[in-house]
Amino acid sequence: MLLLEIYSGKLMKTVVPLENPVIFSGATKSSGTEEAILVPDYLDASSSIKIHEENGHAFFETAARGKRKKHKMKHNVIYRVQDLLFFAYGAGNRNPKDLLLKAKRHLPILSLILLINVAASSMLIAHGIKSNEKLVREFLLSLPLAYIKNGLVYINSDHNTTAPIPWGLRNQVVRVAKADAIVLPSLFLDLKQADGKKPVSASLTEIKNHAVLQVKTYEKMFAIAKLLNRKKIAFSVSEGVFFVSNPEKMKGILHTNSIEYDKSLFKKKHSSLNLIDKDDFLYDIHISSSSVPFLVRNNTRYWKGSSVPEYGKIIEFDEDAIIFLDEHDERFVYLLREAALESFQK
């Protein structure tokens, strides 16, 4: 036997058997046409919910502004209609899955903490890179006779520089005789961080009797990261590339904030994946080599590009699966071949 339990408000932990349909109404007075539990504290006056059992599965139907929608319920999954939270389960198998519900309640706080950490980390990294760039520049400018070879800085043995040696160069300074320091070979510089693992991106350009050292400070990357944080746009960074949900929109956002747009800096972030259970898929599939594929339910046809209730827009029909994308950028996949699952999880 299936049981229905209320999971919010004054009716919290109220359990009702689904032997007969259960109706909740937001009205303050009974209409007299059908027995309903009046819950104006949970629902709008024009809304109602009907929950019933059908072939061993629980369904709930919502009615608002003259429109009715039917939804199949999964056991122990908590559903929410306005302020009414409820779930169905088999007798003796109560195990409400409220972890996602709790996460949603604390999502604003978690998002704020994440944004603060990203912003603080960006500022610290930017400050460290700028400070090290300044020290390298001051040190090299203080050396009137010196050259760089195979990643080492060769200076006169009798030259005492007042500038401190930057941490990126402390193990790369070699003192030589004055005569040796006069010869300038091909310049090459290998800058690394103090731990010796991550190199500092830099380039040397030889110009007649001197060389120009350019150290990459990633200022543009930090400027973009700060802008995305300020605009509250979710992103991740890997190997100098920003992964965002809609890379095409970034050109306009950067332009309005006076940042030069570089298409190579942005790639599309993979959306989340939801596999559709075959028992939950209530649509007939029509795929043939002689016609355009489509779905059918209640004499309504859904083609590629059509919006399908519960799953979103159909973005692809192929030999392995039907792929949907909803308004939250979540992918719903109905597999036609189970062997194709691995390709969609990449």
Amino acid sitting at position 325: L
Q: Topology of 272-344 in CATH?
A: SH3 type barrels. (2.30.30)
Q: Which of 259, 261, 254 is nearest to 231 (CA)?
A: 254
The three-state secondary structure class of 28 is coil
Q: Are strands 241-244 and 266-268 parallel, antiparallel or unpaired?
A: parallel
Q: How many CB atoms lie within 10 A of CB 24?
A: 22
In tens, the pLDDT along 101-156 reads 666 666 778 788 888 888 888 777 766 666 666 766 676 666 656 666 666 666 66
Helix or strand holding residue 243 (H, E): strand 241-244
pTM higher than 0.75: no
pLDDT in tens, the chain (346 residues): 889 998 888 888 889 888 888 989 888 887 665 678 888 888 888 888 999 998 888 999 888 777 788 889 999 888 888 888 999 998 888 888 876 666 666 677 878 888 888 888 877 776 666 666 676 667 666 665 666 666 666 666 555 555 566 666 656 566 554 544 344 444 455 666 666 566 667 776 766 556 677 777 678 888 888 888 887 776 777 777 887 767 777 888 888 888 888 888 887 765 556 778 888 888 999 888 788 899 999 999 999 999 998 888 998 887 778 888 877 666 778 887 764 455 555 4
Phi, psi angles (nearest 5°) of residue 72 = -85, 135
Q: Check the CA dihedral 321-325-326-331 and report its sign.
A: positive
The answer to whether 60 and 50 are in contact (CB under 8 A) is: yes
The three-state secondary structure class of 83 is coil
Q: How far apart are CA 316 and CA 314, in angstroms?
A: 6
**Does the domain made of 2-104 have the CATH classification 2.60.200.20?**
yes
Find residue 23's DSSP bridge partners: 50
Q: What is the DSSP letter of 269?
A: P
Q: Which of 284, 294, 344, 292 is nearest to 320 (CA)?
A: 344
Spans of all domains in the chain: 2-104, 110-215, 219-268, 272-344
Count how many Cα atoms sit within 13 Å of the Cα of residue 14 in the half-sphere of its side chain: 11
- Reading the block at residue 58, the tokens are 């629980």
Q: Which residues contact 68 (CB under 8 A, 6 or more apart)?
A: 61, 62
